[in-house]
Amino acid sequence: MQAILIGFMGSGKTTVGQLLAAQTGTAHADLDDLIVSSAGQAITTIFAEKGEGYFRQLEQQTLRAALQQPGILSTGGGTPTIAANAAILTASAVPVILLDASDETTLQRVMGDANRPLVNNLDTGALLSLKHRREPLYEAAADLVISTDTLTPQQIVTTIQDWL
Ligand code: S3P
């Protein structure tokens, strides 16, 4: 991989990753999509039928494999908050870019999204506490932090390209 995007749910990892890949002429991979393809089940189904622990095992295996491929990788919101995954990211030496969004923006983007099990299972307060608990872990994993609230996806991509 040439760059890895991390951040909480709704931070724009997939949108920005696809655009960045298109504009740099490289491939884009979305870790959640890779997990869904290999498991043959939707993320919500994996969480409901096998539990989050099983999802995290698949996530770790899939992350290791994805890092062997070229391109831009958009991770899931929990990926770098698991110590083993953070170690894998560090060992890969691929630049890690954190897309940061405010609490308000995050809630506007994710509330009501039936494809996100943690959004389905947590109320607003619990979702924001999860976000706040994860923020130091995101920052520890990141080589570049971009505050995205007032930026368009294209402006974010330009910021990344200038930095890379
Ligand atoms: C998760 C975020 C999701 C997905 C799974 C768990 C999390 O990815 O990996 O539902 O723990 O925050 P997105 O950030 O792409 O929604």
Q: Mutation test of ligand 1: which of 9, 130, 132, 138 has the most ligand atoms closer than 8 Å to its C-beta?
A: 9
Give the three-class secondary structure for 9.
Answer: coil
Which pLDDT score, from 0 to 100, does residue 90 have? 96
CATH 3.40.50.300, domain 3-158, yes or no: yes
Q: CB of 78 closer than 6 A to ligand 1?
A: yes
Mean pLDDT in runs of 10 for the chain (164 residues)? 96 98 97 97 97 97 97 98 98 97 97 91 95 98 97 98 96
Query: How many other CB atoms are found less than 10 A from the CB of residue 131?
Result: 22
Which residues on adjacent β-strands are paired with residue 37? none
Cα–Cα distance, 66 to 31 (Å, whole number): 8
The closest of 145, 1, 6 to 72, measured between CA atoms, is 1
Whole-structure pTM value: 0.97
Which pLDDT score, from 0 to 100, does residue 78 have? 98
Q: Copy the structure tokens of residue 84.
A: 């083993």
Is the ipTM of this structure higher than 0.95?
yes
Burial class (CB in 10 A: 0-12, 13-18, 19+), 158: middle
